[in-house]
Amino acid sequence: MKAVIITIGDEILIGQIIDTNSSYIAKALDKIGIATYEMLSISDDKSHIVKTLHEVQNKYDVVLITGGLGPTKDDITKKTFCEYFDDVLVQNDAVLAQVKSIIEGIYKKPITQLNIDQALVPSKAKVLFNAMGTAPGMLMEHQNTVFISLPGVPYEMKYLIDNEVIPYLVNAFERPYIVHKTLMTYGRGESLIAEQIEDWENNLPNFIKLAYLPSPGKVRLRLTARGTNETLLKESILKEIDKLEPLIGDIIVGYDEDETIEVVLARLLTQKQVSLSTAESCTGGKIAQLISAVPGASACFKGGIVAYSNQIKIDVLKVNPETIQKFSVVSKEVAQEMAINCRSIFNTDYAIATTGNAGPTKGNSDAEIGTVFIAIATPNEVLVEEFNFGQPREKVIDRAVNKTFEWLFKEISKN
């Protein structure tokens, strides 16, 4: 089955907001074996919407539309649906009761005509009840295509996808299975990985596809299998992973899209019952932010210091000012003191420290832009490495963060 996702709203086209709805919908469809072939963003213009509906009619099995269902004049999706499907708007009593309960019961405001008009839906539509808001979803079957219109508010859209749309599609259509398995690798570039696994990749079964998804410091390898036998697909992917592990097992840290390095690291720290603290300069607290966002991280992560200026390094982290003066703030010696003192301040088993020059100018150091020193203070020693992550600034920071996690993960795994 093939689907297209259409977002309606000028605010998306001018970059005022980011379209996160399409990503959520595509993932939900993929899980039930429906492939998304296109994602379109179009303006709040009736003729443009009608033209787009004509273009996707019978080209796709499912057309999912978000946006344009609010109470204001610029929300025109319902009226456009009526024009396209030769229909009229009628009041839905169940939706009206929901609107009243929200406006009068929750917001404690008198209901207005604009609010009441939210209960108007095309007479031919199957109404998708929205328990999270006042705008219902609408489902229309026309010739060989199912059209589904959802509100653009993300939490309302998610509720309707999970509770109305996916159950409907599962019951209404026979679908193939689509099975994904994502391997998270760190510390090796895409081209080098491709060279190492070329023979393995060339011998994959024809129903399994490999995709490389690189980003600074890491590469995700996604295996996708499509077919009618779900058990066979899963078993086949696992067999191929077994063949792959001897080739690049040293850089694989996880086997799931959600198994980011910080998730794997937090789990490892917790399992080994050891604690971590951070002292960050050039990474600006991003390491602490990512690991503290992992549910349950409080079991292993004790805290961090963002010592962005030299004075904070001296006053809070107790770095010797003579060390900074003699070796520069971007140096092995400063990174080492930062890690040692951080471990002492927080009384943790491990501490990590970063100091570097992310750019765009050299700032307080003569170190080349892109230079980063990373230090790890362990119960037995202090390890320090120098890296150059190039440019631009965002790349330097992201690669420094990922390298820190990768290195710490490998170090703790040894013990």
What are the tens digits of pLDDT across the range 258-314? 678 899 999 999 999 999 999 999 999 999 999 999 999 999 999 999 999 999 999
- Strand residues in 132-275 grouped as ranges (E): 137-142, 145-150, 177-186, 208-215, 218-227, 252-254
- Across 368-377, average pLDDT: 95
Angle value at C-alpha 177, between 207 and 1, nearest 5 degrees = 95
- Across 338-346, average pLDDT: 98
Q: Is the pLDDT of residue 209 over 90?
A: yes
Write down the pTM of the prediction.
Answer: 0.66
pLDDT value at position 400? Answer: 94
- Find all residues with CB under 8 Å of 406, minimum gap 6, and list them: 186, 187, 217, 218, 253, 261
Model confidence pLDDT, tens digit, residues 94-141: 999 988 998 988 889 899 888 888 889 999 999 999 999 888 999 999
Angle value at C-alpha 298, between 294 and 304, nearest 5 degrees = 90
Pick the CATH number of 2-172 from 3.40.980.10, 3.40.190.10, 3.30.70.100, 3.40.1390.10: 3.40.980.10
User: Two tokens at 247?
Assistant: 């080739």
Q: Cα separation of 121 and 145, whole Å?
A: 19
Average pLDDT for the chain: 92
Helix (H) or strand (E) holding 24: helix 21-31
Domain map (residue ranges) of the chain: 2-172, 177-254, 261-414
State which fold the 261-414 domain adopts. Maf protein (3.90.950)
pLDDT value at position 1? Answer: 87
Q: Is the pLDDT of residue 181 over 80?
A: yes
Q: Cα separation of 153 and 134, whole Å?
A: 11
Residue 366 binned pLDDT confidence (cut-offs 50, 70, 90): confident
φ, ψ of residue 262 in degrees (nearest 5) = -70, -35
**What are the counts of helices (DSSP H) followed by strands (DSSP E) for the chain?**
17, 17
CATH class name, domain 177-254: alpha beta
pLDDT value at position 257? Answer: 67
